[in-house]
Chains A and B, each alone.
Chain A
Amino acid sequence: MEAESNELSETVAEAADTAVETVAPTATAVAEPPVTKVKTGKLSAYDLIRAFEAEQLKNDLPEIYVGDTVRVGVRISEGNKERIQPYEGVVIAKRHGGLNETITVRRIFQGIGVERVFMLHSPQVASVKVERRGKVRRAKLFYLRDRVGKATRVKQRFDR
């Protein structure tokens, strides 16, 4: 799991790099000859969209695993004022990838289970901090919904 997500983030970074590099030579090639040639772009549609999305990706996100306890700083704007409200809970699911990546964070608030889904790359998510690493054997911890009290605890792991 760890290696996989590492690889993913690397390929994203690589795609962005190559995109920028290949843009530069075409631009110079256009400028050089007196009769300028109209270039419709050497990059594929996939690369161009990747590059467009790469601009919006956050690169300061920590590695988040299912089972971790995280503290998410949520941007809230009231009128003109903006403040950051922390929300802490257990990551019970991760969905999607790239720009659309989300985590579902569950916490018990006043005896009621609350689950919030955060788009990790959204500007509304100001910060994500991993408070505690959890040791779990599932990719989705939906079974926590059926549990109360002590049974909802997630075992801590120290090797991450």
Chain B
Amino acid sequence: MSIGILGKKLGMSQFFDDAGRSIPVTVIEAGPCRITQLKSTGTDGYVAVQVGFGDIRDKLVNQPAKGHLAKSGSEPLRHLREYRVDSVEGLELGSQITVAAFEAGQKIDVSGDTVGRGFTGLQKRHGFSRGPMSHGSKNHREPGSIGAGTTPGRVYPGKRMAGRYGGKQITTRGLTILKVDTERNLLVVKGSVPGKPGSLLNIAPAKRVGTKPADGGA
């Protein structure tokens, strides 16, 4: 049973399935992650597993973090994340989570930071249409009217305007694992995942959202 794993997006490629179809895939280098803490109702108020991932130079880890990692006998780790679980039975402090916990065909949720686009205009950020480029028009990429006049005399909150776009965490739900490479610690996932190659990804078994089962009824 997989609880979750941290990984790094490597990039996209393609994969031929059994029917010979070419499927766009994302290759993720996931784990091995170290279990750094087991949280319990008694001490923490909830049950969770904390895992660490990623090489980091020893001098970049501060003393409090080192002390925390020493409890599980871990080497310096760059990222720490938690997964809520029903019980921590069978999970051992300091043990590793590898891609072997996942299997081909499994549905997963992948979350990570989207590609940061900086300060963008309305066309890119909200999909607004632009003004005419010719016939004397000077309104090319302007926002246009942002509201009525004296009544209400203000701009409504939530009015979509230019601003920072991207660089936010999102979750892509219900992706299918096509292949698990335990030797190279790779997960091959159908479709795209957030972020650029090299970005940190949080991979967890698909969570049921709404009334439909996340794994398609199985």
CA A23 – CA B22 in complex, angstroms? 27
CA A46 – CA B10 in complex, angstroms? 8
Q: Chain B interface residue count: which class?
A: 20 to 34
Q: Chain A interface residue count: which class?
A: 20 to 34
Asked if A122 and B197 make an inter-chain contact with CB atoms under 8 angstroms apart, the answer reads no
Which residues of chain A have C-beta atoms less than 8 A from B22's C-beta?
A: 119, 122
Q: Which of A35, A39, A45, A100 contacts B10 (CB 8 A)?
A: A45
Q: Does A99 contact B (CB under 8 A)?
A: yes
Q: Does B54 contact A (CB under 8 A)?
A: yes
Question: Do A38 and B183 form a contact, CB below 8 Å, given A45-B197, A99-B14, A122-B22?
Answer: no
Q: Does B190 contact A (CB under 8 A)?
A: no
Interface of B is mostly: strand
Q: Which of A23, A40, A49 contacts B13 (CB 8 A)?
A: A49
Q: Does B165 contact A (CB under 8 A)?
A: no
Asked if A35 and B73 make an inter-chain contact with CB atoms under 8 angstroms apart, the answer reads yes
Which residues of chain B have C-beta atoms less than 8 A from A37's C-beta?
A: 75
A93 to chain B, nearest CB (A): 18
B112 to chain A, nearest CB (A): 15
Which residue of the partner chain A has the closest CB to B181? A52
Asked if A49 and B11 make an inter-chain contact with CB atoms under 8 angstroms apart, the answer reads yes
Question: Can you list 8 A-B contacts (CB < 8 A)?
Answer: A23-B183, A23-B184, A40-B8, A40-B185, A41-B29, A43-B184, A52-B184, A99-B13
